[in-house]
Chains A and B, each alone.
Chain A
Amino acid sequence: MEVRIDKDTFLNGVQKVQGIVEAKGAMPILSHLLLTTEKERIGIQATDLEIGAKGYYSANVVAEGQVTLNAKKLFDILRELPSEEVHLTREDNHWVTLKCGKSKFRLPGMPSQDFPPFPEFSQDSLLEFSSKLLKEMIRKTFFAQSPDETRQVLNGLLLEREGRKLNMVGTDGHRLAVIKRNLGDAAKGDKLSYLIPKKALAELMKLIEDEDATFSFSAKNNHLAFMQGDQVIVSRKIDGKFPNYQQVIPSDNKLQVSVNRDVLQHALKRVALLADEKSKMVRFDVQSGNITLTTDATELGEAREEIPVSYSGGDVSIGLNAKYVLDVLNVIDDEEVVLNLKDQNSSCLITSNKDKDYQSIVMPMRL
């Protein structure tokens, strides 16, 4: 195998998949990338056995073949190389020589036939969406998924098609974010519902660079695939039943408190500095015209801040995890947000008047 490839193209390709690679694992080959040639292209592939990603980049293929290389080392080398042509040749015993300008590297590869085969995936697109849409939907729900690895169905996002709507939902059991978007008139077909693991989503976000590009989504057996041009990311889907999220979206939270997002965000950040480290609980006392945010009775001290709101209902108090609320405020684009409350034991629904199709729910903490 012998290939000449533009360094920046190569670096970009490696960068997109190297996040998947396991630096330390039981199988050393999983810390490697598989490089293959195909006509005038070079394929770069990585997998951790759960997720696989592959991309093709144009290159001058002098001799066909394939090699594996340690992903981290290759990435670090490419990053430091000058922007010139990289000349990659395979030697005997799987060693690989990289030349660029006056630099020369020899790296030990591993037998490419030992590299795990790329998971089978379907080319038949079930859904198509723009990069921009996909990115927005992931960004606005990603934070709500659970870090708790014992709750596997919550370690990812639900992707669902219902009529012409595409829904994405994340929850960790204490909060939930749901976004609905129109798929356009071309959308058709039955209801679809898949659980996508968080690592696949994180890697997918890295692949998205051109906002106008179109991603297609397919599913085959246990594997989900996102395809865009010459790139594909395949992931095992999460098995199991996502909780019935529709049922927990409150419909009778009549106390609507409208507040400037930026003002609330900063006040909450300040008050949360003195919140209990573990619970991050901040007390929201809502009166007509203002909210008082307080944290008290912790060893750290106490904080209190009053912010103006547009609200004219009765008094209500609720304890909320400041981090959960801040995560939501972070991704809402509108200047105003609405806190929809019922009482101190019921969930707080956070919405924006400009985007009725994005809803976040935060469960209260007992005061």
Chain B
Amino acid sequence: MDAFFVSVEEVLDPSLRGKPVIVGGDPNGRGVVAAASYAARKYGIHSAMPLGRARRLCPSAVFLRGSHRRYAEFSRCIFDVLRSYSPLVEPMSLDEAFVDLSGCLRMHGPLLDTAQQIRDRIHEQAGINASIGIASNKLVAKVASAGVKPNGMLWIVPGMERRFLAPLGVERIPGIGPKSAAELKRMGVRTVAQLADLPMEWLEQAYGRWGTGLYFKARGVCERLVIAEEEDSRSISRETTLEEDSIDPQFLESILSYLVEKSAAQLRGENLYTRSVTLKLRYSDFKTVTRCHTLREPTDDDGIIFHTICGLFRKLFTRRTRVRLIGVALSSLGRSRFHQSDLFATAEPERRDRLFRGIDRIRDKYGFHSILKAGSIFNEDDE
């Protein structure tokens, strides 16, 4: 999708169209740009830029907090469209996916028509412009779609992959980030064509396996398959950049309590159970650390998850350094739960289940914040 978060905001409030719109956290706070409209990009604003800087570049821009829930809704709607064309849809993010159309054309008609149909249907259903790159493999399709944004469509005919990539800058190849691009440039490798001229042994010696990968990428060769999302293999995570760096463990634990409540509610909403709990901390010096704990049995209970996260936090938070970002991730998700009863447990587990079902019903009706743990503190930004 093109500038997805912004596009969603424009659909919801058409008066925003054409204006420089920036979605991110509190504009006076310290978040980063999550998405910028094309009008805003003209001012040099791009995603992941600190909001303060975006504000200096374009003070007249419209700053929006953004809502993950709204975006997820639009995303679901778009993915429904994609899945109606092929069962093989591999989501890359909320607004990006690979669709494997091989073998589906007898059903849908010529390739370009089908792609146009998909774009039309997305526009119809969600009101959002999509750009599509069509190619014989994921690598080239991705580069093609990035190249035709906004609202474009590009088909790289099989056999033309290498020629299509050749004139492009190396940074256009997925997997080559700003750092590697700079390093390659230092050695005089600016375009994909120049990269393709390097012998495989050389690349392998210099970069190991990543280098061998480059050799093939430069030739437009990519054998990775489109893998349909396995629903249960995902993870649920929530993180927040603090308004102000904090060193206060109690405050940080309160934030964690809130993040756990949020993620556990989502877990229950999707009828999933987690077995793996991860804590993420980013310190003010941007050093980022994560720690993971595997539970003995799957759970969707706030209390157990919070207890685990706190255990991790107390072990991990040993540097006397301020924390900038804090997050919780639940993984190893599954639908089935086995429940081993406890010898010494006093409360019946069914009662806890009933409690959480009740809390979830209240939240459905009156909003998430209508009922919260007393120990939970949340950043205004997070909703």
Contact B339 A365 (CB under 8 A): yes
Q: Does B365 contact A (CB under 8 A)?
A: no
Given known contacts A150-B311, A278-B275, A365-B338, A171 and B343 CB-to-CB distance under 8 angstroms:
yes
Contact A347 B343 (CB under 8 A): yes
Interface size classification for chain A: 20 to 34
A residues less than 8 Å from B275 (CB atoms) = 278
Q: Does A243 contact B (CB under 8 A)?
A: yes
1/0 per position for B267-307, CB-CB distance to A under 8 A?
A: 00000000100000000000000000000111000000000
Contact B344 A279 (CB under 8 A): no
Contact A243 B343 (CB under 8 A): yes
A120 to B311, CA, bound (A): 33
Contact A321 B340 (CB under 8 A): yes
Residues of B in contact with A (beta carbons under 8 Å apart): 275, 296-298, 311, 336, 338-344
A366 to B343, CA, bound (A): 13
Contact B296 A176 (CB under 8 A): no
> Shortest Cβ distance from A53 into chain B, in angstroms?
30
B residues less than 8 Å from A175 (CB atoms) = 343
* Given pairs A175-B343, A248-B343, 17 additional interface contacts (CB within 8 A): A148-B296, A173-B342, A174-B340, A174-B341, A176-B343, A243-B344, A276-B336, A276-B338, A278-B297, A278-B338, A279-B338, A361-B343, A363-B343, A365-B338, A365-B339, A365-B340, A366-B341
> Shortest Cβ distance from A148 into chain B, in angstroms?
7
B residues less than 8 Å from A55 (CB atoms) = none
Contact A174 B338 (CB under 8 A): no
A residues less than 8 Å from B342 (CB atoms) = 173-174, 363
List the A residue with the shortest CB-CB distance to B308: A150
A249 to B343, CA, bound (A): 9
A365 to B275, CA, bound (A): 17
Can you name 30 A-B pairs with beta carbons within 8 Å? Answer: A148-B296, A171-B343, A173-B344, A174-B340, A174-B341, A174-B342, A174-B343, A175-B343, A176-B343, A243-B343, A243-B344, A244-B344, A248-B343, A248-B344, A276-B336, A276-B338, A278-B275, A279-B338, A281-B338, A321-B340, A347-B343, A361-B343, A363-B340, A363-B342, A363-B343, A365-B338, A365-B340, A365-B341, A366-B338, A366-B339
List the A residue with the shortest CB-CB distance to B350: A366
> Shortest Cβ distance from A153 into chain B, in angstroms?
11
A347 to B343, CA, bound (A): 8
A366 to B340, CA, bound (A): 7
Q: Does A156 contact B (CB under 8 A)?
A: no
Contact B297 A279 (CB under 8 A): yes
A347 to B341, CA, bound (A): 9
B residues less than 8 Å from A173 (CB atoms) = 342-344
A168 to B40, CA, bound (A): 73
> Shortest Cβ distance from B299 into chain A, in angstroms?
12
List the A residue with the shortest CB-CB distance to B296: A148
List the B residue with the shortest CB-CB distance to A281: B338
Q: Does A222 contact B (CB under 8 A)?
A: no
Q: Does A364 contact B (CB under 8 A)?
A: yes
1/0 per position for A334-365, CB-CB distance to B under 8 A?
A: 00000000000101000000000000010111
B residues less than 8 Å from A279 (CB atoms) = 297, 338, 340
A residues less than 8 Å from B336 (CB atoms) = 276
A365 to B298, CA, bound (A): 13
A residues less than 8 Å from B296 (CB atoms) = 148
- The listed residue with most B CB atoms (<10 A of its CB), out of A148, A279, A347, is A279
- The listed residue with most B CB atoms (<10 A of its CB), out of A176, A278, A366, is A278
- The listed residue with most A CB atoms (<10 A of its CB), out of B298, B311, B336, is B336
- The listed residue with most B CB atoms (<10 A of its CB), out of A174, A319, A345, A347, is A174
A10 to B162, CA, bound (A): 71
A365 to B340, CA, bound (A): 4
Contact B341 A363 (CB under 8 A): yes
- The listed residue with most A CB atoms (<10 A of its CB), out of B298, B339, B341, B342, is B341
> Shortest Cβ distance from B351 into chain A, in angstroms?
14
A276 to B335, CA, bound (A): 13
- The listed residue with most A CB atoms (<10 A of its CB), out of B275, B340, B342, is B340
> Shortest Cβ distance from A263 into chain B, in angstroms?
26
Q: B341's contact among A148, A243, A364, by CB below 8 Å, is which?
A: A364
B residues less than 8 Å from A171 (CB atoms) = 343
> Shortest Cβ distance from B281 into chain A, in angstroms?
20
> Shortest Cβ distance from B366 into chain A, in angstroms?
32
A174 to B339, CA, bound (A): 11
A residues less than 8 Å from B344 (CB atoms) = 173, 243-244, 248
> Shortest Cβ distance from A320 into chain B, in angstroms?
10
List the B residue with the shortest CB-CB distance to A363: B341
A244 to B345, CA, bound (A): 12
B residues less than 8 Å from A174 (CB atoms) = 340-343
List the A residue with the shortest CB-CB distance to B349: A366
Contact B341 A345 (CB under 8 A): yes
A residues 253-288 in Cβ contact with B at 8 Å: 276, 278-279, 281
> Shortest Cβ distance from A317 into chain B, in angstroms?
15
A281 to B339, CA, bound (A): 10
